[in-house]
Amino acid sequence: MVKPKAEPIFEEPEFDERQYLEGEKERAKTMIVTFVIGAFLGLFAGYIYVLGYGYLDILLIFVFIIFIKQILKGLGLTLPKRTWHWVLVGGEFLLTVIIFWTIFINPPITTVSSIQISGLQYENLSSGSWISPAVTSNINILGIPGSYHMRVYVNYNSPISNVSVTAASVSSAPLSVGYQHYDSITHYEYFNLSPISSATIYTVTITAIADNNVSSSANFMIEAGSS
Query: Over the range 192-209, which residues count as b (16 or more CB within 10 Å of their CB) and which as e?
Result: bbeebeeebbbebebbbb
Residue 121 φ then ψ, to 5°: -135, 155
Which residue has better confidence, 107 or 44?
44
pTM of the prediction?
Answer: 0.54
- As a whole number, the mean pLDDT across the chain is 81
pLDDT of residue 222: 83
The lowest-confidence range among 24-33, 111-120, 178-187, 198-207 is 111-120
- Beta-bridge partner residues of 177: 193
Q: Which pLDDT value is given to residue 148?
A: 73
CA-CA-CA-CA dihedral for 60, 61, 65, 68, to nearest 10: 70
**pLDDT the model gives residue 226:** 54
Specify the amino acid at residue 84.
W
Q: Residues 173-188: pLDDT tens digits?
A: 677 888 899 999 999 9
- What integer pLDDT is reported at residue 49 of this predicted model? 82
Q: Cis peptide before 159, with omega less than 30 degrees from 0? A: no
145-169 burial, b at 16+ Cβ within 10 Å, e below that, comes to: eebbbbbbebbbbbebeebebebeb
* Amino acid in the structure at residue 69: K
Q: Output the CA angle 167-173-177, nearest 5 degrees.
A: 35
pLDDT at 84 over 60: yes
Report the pLDDT value the prediction gives residue 33, as an integer from 0 to 100: 92
Mean pLDDT of all residues in 69-96 = 84
Residue among 161, 190, 160, 186 nearest 177 (CA) = 190
pLDDT digits (tens, 9 = 90+) for 128-165: 889 888 776 665 677 776 667 889 999 987 789 999 99
Name the residue among 95, 105, 108 with its Cα closest to residue 37: 95
- What is the full DSSP assignment across 192-221? EEEPPPTT-EEEEEEEEEETTS-EEEEEEE
3-state secondary structure of 72: helix
Could you read off the pLDDT of 1-23 as tens digits, one per residue? 555 555 656 566 665 566 667 76
Window from 69-83, 134-148, 163-177, 199-213 with minimum mean pLDDT: 134-148
* Beta pairing class for 160-168 and 188-194: unpaired
- Percent of residues, the chain, with pLDDT higher than 90: 25
